[in-house]
Amino acid sequence: MGNWTANHWFSAVVLVAWLGLNIFLFTYYFLLYETGKPFLYTRVILGSALAWARGSAACLNFNCLLILLPVCRNLLSFLRGTSSCCRRSMRKQFDNNLAFHKLVGYTIALMTAIHMIAHLFNVERFYNAAVSKNTTLEGMLSVIGNEDDDWVNPIRSEKENPSYFCFTTIAGVSGVVITLALILMITSSTEFIRRSYFEVFWYTHHLFVIFFIGLLIHGVGRIVRGQTLSSMKHNDFESCHDKFDKWKLNGGRDRDDDEDDDDHECRMPSFQGNEPMTWKWIIAPIILYIFERLLRFYRSRQQVVVIKTVSHPSKVLEIQMKKRGFKMEVGQYIFINCPLLSTLEWHPFTLTSAPEEDFFSVHIRSAGDWTENLIQVFQDQAQKPPSLKVDGPFGTASEDVFKYEVSMLVGAGIGITPFASILKSIWYKFQREDERLKTKKIYFYWICRETGAFAWFADLLHSLEQEMISSGKEGFLNYRLFLTNWDSSLAGHAIINFDVETDAVTGLKQKTCYGRPVWENEFSRVADAHPRSTVGVFLCGPQALGKNLQQCCHQFSSLDPRKVQFYFNKENF
């Protein structure tokens, strides 16, 4: 419980504040339209569906204000850099940006459903009131404002049925467009679509432009209306709603307040639409996001020079590049665009180079149509590689790796990439005898399905082994490699070569383990070796593995904050 609090207390505060504001906004606007005097006559026609529509609309405005902020990557990178002096529990919140983005997105979907259903009831009730006779209060209210802009019922005749209203009015058409765009964005952002058909997710998610345009114009028609303040002076609902057959016609306009009038006589009420409010909520984040995109566009136009490409086993392509003014930190990532394949698609890749190197590199594994085509293009045009555009770098959780006394790095498959940058940086720090390195010990775990994958960074690990031996820091890096997909012949070969100094698979001194790691044993060993240390656990890998590691962080952290504490960090981009 103590470690959970240390890892998540700030997240809990943020979520409670967000949830509390949602509840407050919904309740405030619900009660305003359910009990407010200006809407007493409007509720005669619409009932409580009016309050449900407006309460959900307030929450929609609030969450649409928030939805763009977690994907302003330059803003998050800037805040991460400026908050480096803050507590790690506060910095870690920037690593939850996509989770918060999804949470806000699902809330928008829920509130949109409530808002839409409520307004469908409202349109049906508007229509029923419009076709009713003037002998009812609903019917009398529906004929008000035929000539002037003081009506309360937007449906003026039987011809304007609910379907006609939904597809001919600004509110109706924009509402349909907003709903369709939201449905497409949410359905295409599911885990299966993103992993199997990333291009579908990429293109449909940009419907957010249509979504926000629809939001800006949705309230222009001012469909929801309340009684004007001047009208309430001469037509009090409590005194006049049951005397509608005696209302005095005044052309829909109120006379001057100082004109003589019989207070006991009720004038015809007049109404006005609410001023559109959505733009006031979302204009600031839209402007911020536009600046974000302009900055990214400017950086993407800067020339990128591909200086070297290397084809690795298991369909992995290494690309080394140079770009003027490019500065990075360990564990950061960039977006890459290949105009030859698509002018619009940008894909994120973790940097595998170290800040100390005069180039930056990525390792790209074939994991879909775009990456497969990119690898094929580079192989076909080896002499003259295609041009690339690069946007970034952007910060991640791995930037904090050297802020811990002890770090556990866990990579699965191509998830090794952020840790390659870290390990390279350590190698350079050892060479330069950098005394600013506060980290005392690193445990590195790499889980692979294929033996060929180990060839990606075997040279790097071998160099690290030699460097640590020569510098007298042989115990600084403890690495373990796990092969999960193996057969009996490979295991037999390993047994035969068990006494050989180097591993039969990787050629390294550290022997390859066959099967998956037992994380309880690994965490127990680290906890026993460092009983009073702060241990950072960093993962770049699947969600299921993340849940297992996070559970171990909670299980093996001491209740005493002065003893060993494990802090979980996961790559998200």
Dist CA 319 CA 310 (whole Å)? 7
**What is the three-class DSSP state of 255?**
coil
Name the residue with tokens 């990579």: 411
DSSP 42-95: HHHHHTTHHHHHHHHHHHHHHHHHHTTGGG-HHHHHHHHHHTTTS-HHHHGGGG
Identify how many contiguous H helices and E strands the chain contains and give both numbers: 21, 14
Confidence class for position 83, pLDDT limits 50, 70, 90: low
Contact 371, 362 (CB under 8 A): no
Both tokens of residue 264?
């006991």
Confidence class for position 270, pLDDT limits 50, 70, 90: confident
Q: What is the pLDDT of residue 121?
A: 93
Dist CA 434 CA 209 (whole Å)? 48
Determine how many CB atoms are found less than 10 A away from the CB of residue 501. 6
Domain ranges of the chain: 18-169+221-248+267-280, 302-394, 397-570
Confidence class for position 84, pLDDT limits 50, 70, 90: low
DSSP 90-125: HHGGGGGHHHHHHHHHHHHHHHHHHHHHHHHHHHHH
Nearest 5°: the CA angle 349, 353, 358 is 125
Residue 7 vs residue 384, higher pLDDT: 384
Exposure on the CB side of residue 103, measured as CA atoms within 13 A:
14
Crossing angle for the helix pair 2-35 and 49-66, to the nearest 10 degrees? 140
* pLDDT (average), residues 517-546: 86
Please report which residue ranges of 401-457 form alpha helices under DSSP H: 417-431
Contact 65, 18 (CB under 8 A): no
Q: What is the pLDDT of residue 190?
A: 87
DSSP 496-544: HTTTSSS-TTT-SSSPPEES---HHHHHHHHHHH-TT-EEEEEEES-HH
Q: What letter would DSSP give residue 178? A: H
Dist CA 395 CA 82 (whole Å)? 12
**What is the three-class DSSP state of 144?**
coil
Nearest 5°: the CA angle 416, 430, 539 is 20
* pLDDT (average), residues 487-513: 57
Q: What is the pLDDT of residue 509?
A: 63
Q: What is the pLDDT of residue 82?
A: 59
Contact 41, 151 (CB under 8 A): no
CATH topology of domain 397-570: Rossmann fold (3.40.50)
Please tell me the least confidently modeled range out of 127-141, 170-184, 413-427.
Answer: 413-427
Instruction: Check pLDDT > 80 for residue 284.
Output: yes
Instruction: Check pLDDT > 50 for residue 17.
Output: yes
Among candidates 342, 365, 389, which has minimal Cα distance to 200? 342
Confidence class for position 16, pLDDT limits 50, 70, 90: very high
Residue 77 identity? S
Instruction: Convert the pLDDT of each residue in 326-372 to its tens digit.
Output: 888 888 889 999 999 888 888 888 888 888 888 999 988 887 788 88
Per mean pLDDT, which of 149-158, 277-286, 492-501 is the most reliable?
277-286
pTM of the model: 0.78
Nearest 5°: the CA angle 467, 468, 470 is 65
**What is the three-class DSSP state of 301?**
coil
Please report which residue ranges of 246-313 form alpha helices under DSSP H: 278-300
Give Cβ neighbours of residue 55 (< 8 Å, ≥ 6 apart): 25, 26, 27, 29, 30, 33
Q: What is the pLDDT of residue 393?
A: 87
Q: What is the pLDDT of residue 554?
A: 85
Distance of CA 457 to the CA centre of its chain: 31
Dist CA 287 CA 212 (whole Å)? 12
Per mean pLDDT, which of 106-115, 200-209, 549-558 is the most reliable?
106-115
Among candidates 449, 439, 437, 375, which has minimal Cα distance to 411? 449
**Share above pLDDT 70 across residues of the chain, in percent, rounded to a whole number:** 83
DSSP 21-46: HHHHHHHHHHHHHHH-GGGHHHHHHH
Instruction: Convert the pLDDT of each residue in 379-414 to its tens digit.
Output: 888 788 889 999 888 887 777 788 888 889 888 876
Distance of CA 567 to the CA centre of its chain: 22
Distance of CA 54 to the CA centre of its chain: 26
Give Cβ neighbours of residue 437 (< 8 Å, ≥ 6 apart): 402, 426, 429
* pLDDT (average), residues 144-155: 77
318: β partners:
310, 363
Q: What is the pLDDT of residue 260?
A: 46
Instruction: Check pLDDT > 90 for residue 179.
Output: yes
Rounded CA Rg of the chain = 32
Instruction: Check pLDDT > 90 for residue 147.
Output: no
Both tokens of residue 324?
């003027």
Torsion of CA 437, 443, 449, 450, to 10 degrees: 60
Confidence class for position 257, pLDDT limits 50, 70, 90: very low
Both tokens of residue 480?
């373990």
Q: What is the pLDDT of residue 254?
A: 45
Q: What is the pLDDT of residue 253?
A: 45
Considering the chain, what is the average pLDDT of its residues?
A: 82
Both tokens of residue 460?
């790097």
* pLDDT (average), residues 239-264: 60
Among candidates 246, 244, 248, which has minimal Cα distance to 261? 248
**Share above pLDDT 90 across residues of the chain, in percent, rounded to a whole number:** 23
Name the residue with tokens 């979504």: 211
Contact 308, 341 (CB under 8 A): no
* pLDDT (average), residues 133-153: 79
Residue 503 vs residue 205, higher pLDDT: 205
Contact 232, 38 (CB under 8 A): yes
Among candidates 117, 108, 107, which has minimal Cα distance to 49? 117
* DSSP H or E run through 408: strand 406-412
Dist CA 37 CA 26 (whole Å)? 18
Instruction: Convert the pLDDT of each residue in 419-455 to its tens digit.
Output: 888 888 877 777 776 666 777 888 888 887 766 666 6
Nearest 5°: the CA angle 412, 415, 420 is 115
Q: What is the pLDDT of residue 357?
A: 86
Backbone angles phi, psi at 478, to 5 degrees: -115, 110
Instruction: Check pLDDT > 50 for residue 85.
Output: no
Q: What is the pLDDT of residue 66?
A: 94
Give Cβ neighbours of residue 258 (< 8 Å, ≥ 6 apart): none
Q: What is the pLDDT of residue 352?
A: 86
Dist CA 6 CA 282 (whole Å)? 34
Residue 155 identity? I
Contact 432, 468 (CB under 8 A): no
Per mean pLDDT, which of 332-341, 388-397, 482-491, 557-566 is the most reliable?
332-341
CATH topology of domain 302-394: Elongation Factor Tu (Ef-tu); domain 3 (2.40.30)
Q: What is the pLDDT of residue 446?
A: 84
